[in-house]
Amino acid sequence: MCKRKKDPYLGLFNLVGGKIEDSENGPSAAYRELWEETGISSANIELHHLMDFRYFYQECWVEVYVGKLKSDVILQDEVNELFWSDLNHNFFGQKYAGEGNIGHMVEQVKLYEKEIFNITK
């Protein structure tokens, strides 16, 4: 996660991400943004497309990707301060950006972890 240094959501905790460039598809942008903002490369993680949000009034489309690290990594801050967070927090709380979206995303990962990561146990 990161602590935002600018608006929107200045000072709140958020997930890392960014915009899809014209020459990219969603997964390519997700890997690029993850690398730019954290130093985590595609060699460190396999991302899975979890969900999309469409905001009609803001004319915005958000693609959400999730993954599990293959090994430990050292984070490299780009702009925002980065930190690790376990999944045992109230991500719907006031210190998190996105009007509850982060909480919703985390709950979906918890509910469908076996399917997302192909866990057979």
Q: Give the pLDDT band (50/70/90) at residue 36.
A: very high
- Condensed to tens digits (0 to 9), the pLDDT of residues 110-119 reads 999 999 999 8
How far apart CA 98 and CA 9 sit, in angstroms, is: 8
Instruction: Please report, rounded to a whole number, the percentage of residues in the chain having pLDDT higher than 70.
Output: 100
What residues does 67 pair with on adjacent strands? 47
Write down the pTM of the prediction. Answer: 0.92
How far apart CA 79 and CA 101 sit, in angstroms, is: 22
- Condensed to tens digits (0 to 9), the pLDDT of residues 71-82 reads 999 999 888 999
pLDDT at 120: 84
Using CB atoms within 10 Å of the CB of residue 32, give its burial: 0 to 12 exposed, 13 to 18 middle, 19+ buried. middle
pLDDT at 26: 97
pLDDT at 69: 96
For 2-116, give the CATH class.
alpha beta
Q: Give the pLDDT band (50/70/90) at residue 62.
A: very high
Give me the residue spans of the domains in the chain: 2-116
The mean pLDDT of 86-111, rounded to a whole number, is 94
The mean pLDDT of 90-95, rounded to a whole number, is 95
Sign (positive or negative) of CA dihedral 92, 11, 25, 44: negative
